[in-house]
Structure 1
Amino acid sequence: MSTSVGQHLLTFHPAGVYREIQQALTKEGIMNVVIVGAGPTGLMLAGDLAQAGIEVTILERRASTEANTTRAFGVHARTLEQLDIRGLADRLPGQKVSGVRLFAKARIDLSSLPTRFNYLLITPQYEVEKLLRERAERLGVKIEHGQEVIGLSQNADSVTVKTTTSTWEAKYVVGTDGVRSKVRELIGLPFPGKSVVKSIMLADVRLDTRPQEAVTVNAVGDGFAFIAPFGDGWYRVFAWDRRKQVDDKAPLELSEVREVTKRALGTDMGMHDPRWMSRFHSDERQVPTYRKGRVFLAGDAAHCHSPAGGQGMNTGIQDAANLGWKLAAVLNGHADEQLLDTYQEERHPVGRAVLRSSGAIIRLAMVKSKAGQAIRNAICGFLLNKAKISRKAAGQISGIDIHYGGKTRASDIELETGRLFEALRGGRFVLVTNEARDTPDFVTTVKPKNPVAQPILVRPDGYVTDWDDAKYR
């Protein structure tokens, strides 16, 4: 049986005692948390920890001037809610898309989702990173560039990380260093799975002709193509050619992307002036455990899957939202260390579900025969025209329906002053109640605009937890 998160929340340790602990650790040269990897997952986690007063340093292999050209292109509703909780969502540029067409008339409608963010926001990953980096640095996070990890060891009290230039010691280490994670390798965790599709082409291009739909996708027997707008005149193109399976490092010309796109969509829409092109292969892999001792894995270091559904960056950011407040609670003396085990219990099943859903979409896209394609289009179109099924698909792909057993997503209810997600911006628990109530120092009490039947306790990551289960004293 999964252990309740609330069972590990303890009596608040007096601030003076905690300061003494922190000072002792500092004297010994032991940091609180070292994060390896400055992508969206690492930056999100670092910002959350810093918000809670936790000392954190990010070690990043890339030089500070090196651009991060990555394939993530969209931010889903639940991730936007997490960014809203941090005061960032409304600052993120991009194009809002109310639905996604999969095949022929099969379309997932996002407009009816119960959220302010009832859409997919098409925006390049570097825009998300920019916001998260600014927040992390504003909160005091140190980002050390040019730090390639070459060694890692741990004992009962700390973890030592060696890079090509330095040695770092911390109470906890989190590997957010991507699919080829060095942290995962050094702690000896396997990454079981398989390659699903090879030689996918990516390109950011201009178009002469604007697509009829905001997100355009289609699959034919020997290939598929996907086009999405960034909202600034640039478009992201994914294309795959069954006829030409080459190594990821093979040269890529725009003419190849245009040819496959025309074959799949009937037109290449006059694409030109690519600013970036690349090939990659898509694997489905997941580590058996997201934690080994004092070392955790999150994002692509813990799980990877096909780009279908645009789940990768979103799942990583939500990993960080789950782990961050738990690490902070333990390090700030609000909870015992067993709380950290709930990260695996809650997030590993989510990663597994994403592998299954994105895998199903990519396999449907790769159906080769015309008869098979016709059956696929008919069945998917029929099912997604059913309101109940369409809503379930939208909830899954957007992350809105993610829950952790009895811990469900909190609605952004109106308060006497502002909204619930605004009240969560301090990184604290929030208790929504009609009447005043004594609470621990790490809980903010707010009054709803409309009375609630009973008090609602919301975790820092926006999930409702049970007050009795929390065992506050």
Structure 2
Amino acid sequence: MNDNRVNLGKHVNRVNRDTDVTDVTDTRTVLVVGSGPTGLLLAGDLATAGIPVTVVEKRPAGISNLSRAFVLHARTLEQLDARGLADELEALGRPQDRLPLFGGLALDFAALPSRFRHVLVIPQYEVEKVLLRRAREAGADIRYGTEMTALSQDADGVTVDVTGSGGERERLRAAYVVGADGMRSAVRSAVGLPFPGRSVVRSVILADVRLAEPPEALLSVNAVGDAFAFLGSFGDGYHRVVAWRRDRSAPDDAPVDLDEVREITRYVHGRDFGMHDARWLSRFHSDERQAPAYRVGRVLLAGDAAHVHTPAGGQGMNIGLQDAANLSWKLAQVVDGHAPDSLLDTYQAERHPVGRAALRSSGGMIRLVMARRPWTPALRKTLVAVLGRVGPARRRVAYQITGIGVRYPAPSGAHRTTGARVPDVALAGGRRLYRALRGGRFVLITPEPYDDRGAHGERLAVERWAGDRRTSVLVRPDGYVAWASDTAGPTAGIEAALAAHLG
């Protein structure tokens, strides 16, 4: 176990053994708590890999259309492409090659080194529908109206007590539990992990409205120092409005009326776009928080249960989905006995820094928007100018927000590409990498024929480069380099690499 893990005996809540419950045991099962995008992607991956997976969700069945997340970034679309889902979501959403931030600043994605050179405007509920269908078709057991009430773990597994909507109680036994149950995670609380941080923006208004005079852009945002307003189209006649004004502070449960939304939008944009027919109005506060550990023994955290930050840049849902893509194949390897339990420690090592970077970037943007010091407008103007004129700076910001720039740490002495994201490279025979990755497989790309998969069967796809590259590369199921060698052929250590990474 690494030093970031929390002491298990100190933090675990023990189950009341006298509770009258049904005992359900399967030591290969992974239990996922939470059926948002993160939990559903994870469940679908595990079920596709043949791992028994149960998802418990305290909400009743049905996908809410009142979700906050609104965009899919390029790296997330690549991960969805590796699951055969990206094209379907692209047809449901609307691509936009620029993402507006503030003060006229926008990120241009047209030059991204990706098949997806845009941000896809699509509400979270559409993403959830597709992920839910996939998880069910793969065999995941999805239980709505079911709340986790207690959790304990031992050396062999995790015991979870759940209560159904009718009061029925059940005891579930799993090899591992993943908390994907959001900011107020019951799983995180059950293992005693703190969630340090603070509220950054209070009394942010969310509204879904119709507009008599909608803006030309799918996404519109502006800030004036003491207020900001974002507008985004759902594509069904409604627009999401996110609005804040410094002098309109109120608790989250304070009522909101459409006049308040109109007033803030006029103040920021100069007009209210003829808002009418609000189908939803709400207030929330935006926090910056991150759990110190994403793993405590056999319990792991993903998505908002592990990290939350401001909505600036639209990174929230995307980072959660990328968490799931990183964790799912590792859990499958460990549960099936192909890798030691210590492989799960790399989830913390690889994803915790990504969550921390998102807190910094989104927090920096929102603070710059909100700051009221006299020099702030000049700083914003300078930043817009720098990002508009300096290619490397603009590219660095775009890579960070889209996830394209994420690179994982590599062991000492590893090939220079180890841990790097692999783009959707062309393969021999007109194939491409992200199609070969489907099904949660590793992909070995070689310059010469290599047909001996040994005992790895359907867990490994062997491909050749479309061109004359001489490097052999083993690509992980999440699209990052596991191993590489500049010397072609089996003598370069291919067999050793396969044994080390596939068991």
**Superposed displacement of residue 27, structure 1:** 9.9
Query: Could you tell me whether the CA contact under 8 Å between 2:69 and 2:124 is conserved in 1?
Result: yes
- Report the CA distance shift for 1:374/1:233 in structure 2 as closer, same or farther (over 3 A): farther
Please list the CA deviations of residues 156-200 of structure 1 after superposition, one character each: whole Å capped at 9, or x if unmatched. 001011112211110000000000000000100000111101011
**Matched residue type, 1:428:** R
Residue 42 of structure 1: SS of its match in structure 2?
helix
**Superposed displacement of residue 225, structure 1:** 0.5
Residue aligning to 1:439: 453
Query: Could you tell me whether the CA contact under 8 Å between 1:223 and 1:239 is conserved in 2?
Result: yes
Distance 2:404 2:327 in 1: 18
* TM-score, length-scaled by structure 1: 0.91
Distance 2:315 2:176 in 1: 27
Gaps of 5+ in 1: 4-25
Instruction: Report whether the alignment pairs 1:409 with 2:421.
Output: yes
Instruction: Report whether the alignment pairs 1:459 with 2:476.
Output: yes
Residue 384 of structure 1: SS of its match in structure 2?
helix
Distance 2:344 2:314 in 1: 28
Count of aligned pairs = 450
Residue 59 of structure 1: SS of its match in structure 2?
strand
Distance 1:341 1:134 in 2: 30
Query: Could you tell me whether the CA contact under 8 Å between 2:204 and 2:283 is conserved in 1?
Result: yes
Residue 126 of structure 1: SS of its match in structure 2?
helix
Written as runs of structure 1 = structure 2, the 5 A alignment for 1:235-254 is 235-254=239-258
**Superposed displacement of residue 275, structure 1:** 2.2
Residue aligning to 2:138: 139
Residue 367 of structure 2: SS of its match in structure 1?
helix
Residue 204 of structure 2: SS of its match in structure 1?
strand
**Superposed displacement of residue 292, structure 1:** 0.2
Please list the CA deviations of residues 301-336 of structure 1 after superposition, one character each: whole Å capped at 9, or x if unmatched. 000000111111101000000000000011122111
**Matched residue type, 1:384:** G
Residue aligning to 1:150: 149
**Matched residue type, 1:47:** G
Instruction: Report whether the alignment pairs 1:328 with 2:304.
Output: no
Residue 498 of structure 2: SS of its match in structure 1?
coil
Distance 2:251 2:269 in 1: 25
Instruction: Report whether the alignment pairs 1:84 with 2:47.
Output: no
Query: Could you tell me whether the CA contact under 8 Å between 2:103 and 2:380 is conserved in 1?
Result: no
Residue aligning to 2:266: 262
Residue aligning to 1:391: 395
Residue 161 of structure 2: SS of its match in structure 1?
strand
Query: Could you tell me whether the CA contact under 8 Å between 2:442 and 2:477 is conserved in 1?
Result: yes
Residue 115 of structure 1: SS of its match in structure 2?
coil
Please list the CA deviations of residues 355-413 of structure 1 after superposition, one character each: whole Å capped at 9, or x if unmatched. 00000011011022565224312333333321111111111111111110241111101
Greater shift in the superposed pair: 295-304 or 439-448: 439-448
**Superposed displacement of residue 67, structure 1:** 2.5
- Report the CA distance shift for 1:212/1:367 in structure 2 as closer, same or farther (over 3 A): farther
Query: Could you tell me whether the CA contact under 8 Å between 2:48 and 2:138 is conserved in 1?
Result: yes
Written as runs of structure 1 = structure 2, the 5 A alignment for 1:276-295 is 276-295=280-299
Query: Could you tell me whether the CA contact under 8 Å between 1:95 and 1:230 is conserved in 2?
Result: no
Residue aligning to 1:161: 160
Residue aligning to 2:355: 351
**Matched residue type, 2:116:** F
Distance 1:68 1:362 in 2: 26
Q: Percent identity?
A: 53
Written as runs of structure 1 = structure 2, the 5 A alignment for 1:23-422 is 29-65=26-62, 67=64, 69-92=66-89, 93-164=92-163, 165-369=169-373, 371-405=375-409, 406-415=418-427, 416-422=429-435
**Matched residue type, 1:180:** R
**Superposed displacement of residue 66, structure 1:** 6.3
Query: Could you tell me whether the CA contact under 8 Å between 2:24 and 2:173 is conserved in 1?
Result: no
**Superposed displacement of residue 231, structure 1:** 3.1
Distance 1:342 1:260 in 2: 45
Distance 2:278 2:77 in 1: 28
Residue 462 of structure 2: SS of its match in structure 1?
strand
Residue 425 of structure 1: SS of its match in structure 2?
coil
**Matched residue type, 1:42:** G
Distance 2:213 2:72 in 1: 25
- Report the CA distance shift for 1:272/1:374 in structure 2 as closer, same or farther (over 3 A): farther
Residue 472 of structure 1: SS of its match in structure 2?
helix
Please list the CA deviations of residues 205-241 of structure 1 after superposition, one character each: whole Å capped at 9, or x if unmatched. 2222231433211111321101122333322211001
Gaps of 5+ in 2: 4-22, 164-168, 410-417, 485-492
Query: Could you tell me whether the CA contact under 8 Å between 2:101 and 2:312 is conserved in 1?
Result: no
Distance 1:38 1:148 in 2: 12
**Superposed displacement of residue 39, structure 1:** 0.4
Distance 1:98 1:233 in 2: 22
**Matched residue type, 1:451:** D
Query: Could you tell me whether the CA contact under 8 Å between 2:77 and 2:116 is conserved in 1?
Result: yes
**Matched residue type, 2:33:** V
Residue 426 of structure 1: SS of its match in structure 2?
coil
Distance 1:152 1:69 in 2: 30
- Report the CA distance shift for 1:27/1:354 in structure 2 as closer, same or farther (over 3 A): closer
Residue 414 of structure 1: SS of its match in structure 2?
coil
Query: Could you tell me whether the CA contact under 8 Å between 1:103 and 1:377 is conserved in 2?
Result: no
* TM-score, length-scaled by structure 2: 0.86
